Structures are given as C-alpha cells and as structure tokens.
Amino acid sequence: MKNKNIVLKKTTANDTSFIYKWINNPVVKKYSFNKKKISKEKNKLFWKKNLNSKKHLSYTMFFKEKKYKACGFFSANFYQEYCLINYLIAPKFRKMGLSKFLLKLGLKKINDYKKDIKIFAKVKKNNIRSIISLHSAKFVIYQEKKNYIKMIFKK
C-alpha cells in the first residue's frame, strides 16, 4: 500500500454517521476505554460540540483509488500544553498496515496546526497492534498505569 493512495480530510458532518458505526463495532469496543455502546444522541452532541472547535481536530482517512472510500479516523484534543490523539481504522480495513499512514498524516496535521506541542496517546495494554503502530510512528512509553500505557511522540 502506498501513501499516495490515501488522503486525510477534515471530518465533516456527513462522516460522523459511519464513524459512529465504527466506534460501536465490537472489535473496536474490545480495545476501547469506554466499553458501553455510545448512543446516537451522545454522538450527535459530541460532534455538535467538537466538529468546529479549536480545541479538537478530527480527520477522516479515505482511499483515493476506491472512490474515496472512508477507511479511518484521527482526532486530537488540545489542552493547555499538550494534545491527546485518538485514532481508529475502520473494521473491514484492519490488518492492512493503514495505521502508520493515518498516524503520519495526522501528526503532520497537528504540527501544521500547532507546532511544538507535546503529543500523547493512551492505549490499553492489551492493544498490542496499536502499541506497535505508535512505536513505529516514533511514540515512546511515557507512563505505565495498571490497564493502559501513556505514550509521547518524540519528534
């Protein structure tokens, strides 16, 4: 898979319906911090608050060659001196090596938006694939907790 076949676009209101389906997928929930199904109402409220917020960036990843088929999601929540990223690959596109492209493109978007900010990711200890993806994107372990690892991006 080549990076040129993938594009990251700012998430739009139209994207939120399939992202909603992805985040409630059982495989996604297995590695999620929130195990409960997210209601449509909570999802709408989240996007109403965050879609155009300066404290939240969100991008949807698409395959160019598949008529811009959505295949992933990347977001960053900004706080005073750092941001916390979140990402997922659509369930039917997993195990294709897409995480490295999503992380690379997403990290560039953060850098374009706000240089010199610390970038963190939190990942559950049982999410080995995500830990590997984050390591390959230059994240290192910053702090270990009982059930998760906090990682920091080393530029």
Is 47 in contact with 113 (CB distance < 8 Å)? Answer: no
Q: How far is CA 81 from CA 41, 75, 86, 114, 117, in A?
A: 31, 17, 17, 11, 6
Average pLDDT score over the chain? 91
CATH class of 3-153: alpha beta
List, in order, residues 6 or more apart from 67 with CB less than 8 Å away.
none
User: What confidence tier does 1 reach under pLDDT thresholds 50, 70, 90?
Assistant: very low
Is 121 in contact with 110 (CB distance < 8 Å)? Answer: no
Residue 39, strand partner residues: none
pLDDT, tens digit, 9 for 90 and up, residues 34-61: 889 999 999 998 999 999 899 999 999 9
Q: Where are the domains of the chain?
A: 3-153
Is 141 in contact with 132 (CB distance < 8 Å)? Answer: no
pLDDT, tens digit, 9 for 90 and up, residues 58-70: 999 998 766 668 9
Per-residue pLDDT at 55: 95
Length of the chain: 155
> Please, where are the H alpha helices in the chain?
16-23, 26-30, 40-50, 98-113, 128-136
Give the burial class of 41: count Cβ atoms within 10 A of its Cβ; 0-12 exposed, 13-18 middle, 19 or more buried.
exposed
Give the DSSP H/E element, type plus range, for residue 93: none
- Which pTM was predicted? 0.90
